[in-house]
């Protein structure tokens, strides 16, 4: 329950960060094309902030089991083996 709330909070923060990135980019482009004013380093800030937003979306995606799972090697494995591998993958992702 607590992890679910933290994952949702993380996704909300990611959405807010994406909104800020969008407004910053719009302000920079509009300023550049109208008055010649621009935000210094906007391209770099957009790249870094987008990477951070992607990382913030990952816990909620994992909670919903929305990550892509490649099962080429485990297609013929038993249900218990697949479940064990899924748990190990979730643990590795949590450690990262």
Q: What is the pLDDT of residues 22-69, one digit of tens each?
A: 999 999 999 999 998 988 999 999 999 999 999 999 889 888 877 676
Q: Is the pLDDT of residue 70 over 80?
A: no
**What is the spatial distance between Cα 19 and Cα 12, in angstroms, rounded to a whole number?**
11
pTM of the model: 0.70
The confidence score (pLDDT) of residue 55 equals: 92
The confidence score (pLDDT) of residue 9 equals: 96
- Better-predicted residue by pLDDT, 13 or 86: 13
- For the stretch 72-96, pLDDT in tens is 777 788 889 988 988 998 888 788 7
Q: Tokens in use for 44?
A: 């770099």
Q: Is 59 exposed, middle or buried (0-12, 13-18, 19+ CB in 10 A)?
A: buried
The confidence score (pLDDT) of residue 33 equals: 93
């Amino acid at each position: 329950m607590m992890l679910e709330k933290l994952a949702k909070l993380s996704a909300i923060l990611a959405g807010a960060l994406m909104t800020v990135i969008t407004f910053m980019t719009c302000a920079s482009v509009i300023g550049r094309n109208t008055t010649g004013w621009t935000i210094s380093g906007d391209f770099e800030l957009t790249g870094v902030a987008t990477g951070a937003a992607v990382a913030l979306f990952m816990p909620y995606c994992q909670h919903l089991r929305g990550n892509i799972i490649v099962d080429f090697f485990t297609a013929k494995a038993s249900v218990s083996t697949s479940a064990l591998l899924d748990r190990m993958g979730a643990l590795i992702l949590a450690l990262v």
